Amino acid sequence: NWPWFRELLELIAMILAKADPTVVENYDKQLIPVFMQQQAGKSDSEDDIIELGKQVRRELKSAGESVLRVSGQRDLNMGNEILSRELEVRTPYLDALNVVQCEVMRRLDNEEFQSEEEKDLLMDGLLVTINGIAAGMRNSG
């Protein structure tokens, strides 16, 4: 009965459908220890930060369940077969880019490079993954 509300639900569902808690968990596992080493007592404990990430993922799941309950849909693609297919095709590529990006970030944060040239290559790799992930998350080709 309320087209604007239905549109809002569809937009929220699309965003939630693109969110992948397992990707975020990988970033947590790889980068929180590095962050904690750099902070050396300046911030919360590592356990607190890890728990915050878990809480955000629980809230993400709860939000998705709420959208499905309100909309009456079975999945967050809201019956949009085109979006379902796009996400199915893109996900393996985005997953790989996210893994590479996380590793590059870890190496840069840990200063795991032998020369400025290698650091520059890692920075270039980071920029490529940022652009690739951004392009892959778009709604149209």
- pLDDT higher than 70, residue 43: no
| Cα-to-chain-centroid distance, residue 95 | 9
**What is the structure's pLDDT at 106?**
93
Position 139 confidence tier, pLDDT thresholds 50, 70, 90: low
DSSP 8-state code for residue 99: H
Q: How would residue 125 be classed by pLDDT, with cut points 50, 70 and 90? A: very high
Tens of pLDDT, residues 17-34: 888 999 989 998 888 887
- Closest C-alpha among 77, 94, 73 to residue 136: 94
What CA–CA distance (Å, rounded) separates 98 from 2? 38
Q: What's the predicted TM-score (pTM) here? A: 0.80
Buried b (16+ CB within 10 A) or exposed e, 97-133: bbebbbbbbbbbeeeeeeeeeeeeebeebbeebeebb
pLDDT at 141: 39
Question: Is pLDDT above 80 for 40?
Answer: no
| Mean of the per-residue pLDDT values of the chain | 89
pLDDT in tens, 72-124: 999 998 888 888 888 889 999 999 999 999 999 999 998 999 999 999 999 99
Cβ contact 89:125 at 8 Å? no
